[in-house]
């Protein structure tokens, strides 16, 4: 398995349970992929903490609960988030040991139909000989050229950097009105930030049901969100006291400038497929970088399979898990199958 996210680690455990000798290569140094490390789990932990604070601030008095002056201990809040992540990622490592899955920490690349090379995180390289290879490398943040991300600087951040903000900003811009940006924007809005969402389309969450998104936007406005729809960002300038964003109408027009303390770039995700050695193997990717597979998750090389975010379909953890199990069953000679009509969609938890 290449990739230790929901698709890769579930497939690895399933393969081991079926009696296959299994190895999993993960370059993050921590299992669980984006979901457990810098996605669903830490964001939900911060959402829960911010929800408690917002309830105490806005609603407790309605029930006759007077608690005096409220304050936020952001370090402790971040610590609770980290504890949730550590517990779950550690649990996967335990399952690997329980079922005998070899865990290789490093960046993997395909050397041949039955060979994976690993650049180990602690230095050195190694090669793994195998009968089958499963690519489950997931996805990464899609860059927005006019607004380059610098998580270390904490002025222009992506979804990963938004989880590590050390001080509640006064003004925050969220570029992209999808579920990721709205979810993280909701965290910092509840904690006191004035959040402005800048979306190129004419509504938030464009792929969702129109009635749902209309009601969703009303809820967020009630929380204090500002919205700039049908708007594109053309330029950004990092300054000592924030970020100056230049915007104009999606169809073009006069430019406007506004300064924010922090800008969150949340314009979507793309498959992580570069540097895997796909081209050398003759494995095709489409214009979005997704690996081409058949109905049995096989690439152009029969011994190499791919699942999850790096192939066609919604980028959902539970979709990757089901595909991983099906792919392993197919490798073992069974009729692995995924019923895509039964996969729940993803909605924003705010």
Q: List Cβ neighbours of 108 (8 Å cut-off, separation of 6 or more).
A: 2, 25, 27, 116, 117, 118, 119, 276
Q: How confident is the model at residue 348 (pLDDT cuts 50, 70, 90)?
A: very low
| CATH number for the domain whose boundaries are 156-267 | 3.50.50.60
What are the structural domain ranges in the chain? 6-141+270-342, 156-267
CA–CA dist 321, 292 (Å, integer): 18
Q: Give the pLDDT confidence of 120-152 residue by residue, as tens digits.
A: 999 999 999 999 999 999 999 999 999 999 999
Superfamily of domain 6-141+270-342: FAD/NAD(P)-binding domain (3.50.50.60)
Q: Render pLDDT for 158-204 as a digit per residue (tens, 0 to 9).
A: 999 999 999 999 999 999 999 999 999 999 999 999 999 999 999 99
Per CATH, 6-141+270-342 and 156-267 having the same topology is answered yes
Burial (CB count <10 Å: 0-12, 13-18, 19+), residue 121: middle
Tens digit of each residue's pLDDT (9 = 90 or more) over 90-114: 999 999 999 999 999 999 999 999 9
Q: What percent of the chain has pLDDT over 70?
A: 98
State the alpha helices, DSSP H only, in the chain: 6-17, 33-38, 40-58, 74-99, 159-162, 179-190, 210-223, 278-281, 317-331
For the stretch 151-165, pLDDT in tens is 999 999 999 999 999
Residue 350: pLDDT above 70? Answer: no
Coil, strand or helix: which one is 101?
coil
Instruction: Report, as an integer, the average pLDDT of 232-251.
Output: 97
The pTM of the full predicted model, rounded to 2 decimals, is 0.92
- Alpha-carbon separation of residue 286 from 95, 169, 172 (angstroms): 35, 39, 35
């Amino acid at each position: 398995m290449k990739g230790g996210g929901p698709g890769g680690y579930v497939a690895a455990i399933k393969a081991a349970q079926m009696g296959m000798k299994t190895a999993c290569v993960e370059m993050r140094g921590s299992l669980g992929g984006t979901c457990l490390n810098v996605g669903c789990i830490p964001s939900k932990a911060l959402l829960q903490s911010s929800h408690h604070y917002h309830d105490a601030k806005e609603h407790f008095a309605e029930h006759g609960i007077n608690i005096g002056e409220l304050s936020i201990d952001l370090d402790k809040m971040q610590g609770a988030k980290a504890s949730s992540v550590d517990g779950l990622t550690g649990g996967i490592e335990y399952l690997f040991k329980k079922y005998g899955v070899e865990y290789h920490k490093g960046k993997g690349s395909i050397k041949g139909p039955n060979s994976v090379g690993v650049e180990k995180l602690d230095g050195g390289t190694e090669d793994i000989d195998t009968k089958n290879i499963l690519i489950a490398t997931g996805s990464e943040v899609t860059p927005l050229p006019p607004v380059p991300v610098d998580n270390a600087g904490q002025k222009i951040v992506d979804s990963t950097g938004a989880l590590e903000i050390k001080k509640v900003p006064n003004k925050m811009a969220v570029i992209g009105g999808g579920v990721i940006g709205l979810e993280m924007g909701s965290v910092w809005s509840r904690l006191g930030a004035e959040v402005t969402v800048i979306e190129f389309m004419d509504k938030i969450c464009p792929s969702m049901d129109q009635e749902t998104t209309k009601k969703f936007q009303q809820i967020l406005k009630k929380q204090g969100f500002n919205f700039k729809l049908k708007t594109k960002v053309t330029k950004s300038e990092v300054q000592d006291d924030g970020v100056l964003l230049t915007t104009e109408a999606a169809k073009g027009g006069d430019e406007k400038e506004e300064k924010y303390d922090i800008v969150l770039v949340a314009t979507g995700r793309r498959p992580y497929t570069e540097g895997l050695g796909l081209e050398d193997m003759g494995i095709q990717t489409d214009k979005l970088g997704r690996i081409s597979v058949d109905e049995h998750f096989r690439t152009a090389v029969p011994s190499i399979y791919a699942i999850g975010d790096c192939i066609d379909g919604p980028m959902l953890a539970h979709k990757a898990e089901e595909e991983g199990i099906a792919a392993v069953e197919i490798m073992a000679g069974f009729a692995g199958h995924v019923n895509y009509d039964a996969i729940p969609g993803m909605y924003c938890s705010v």
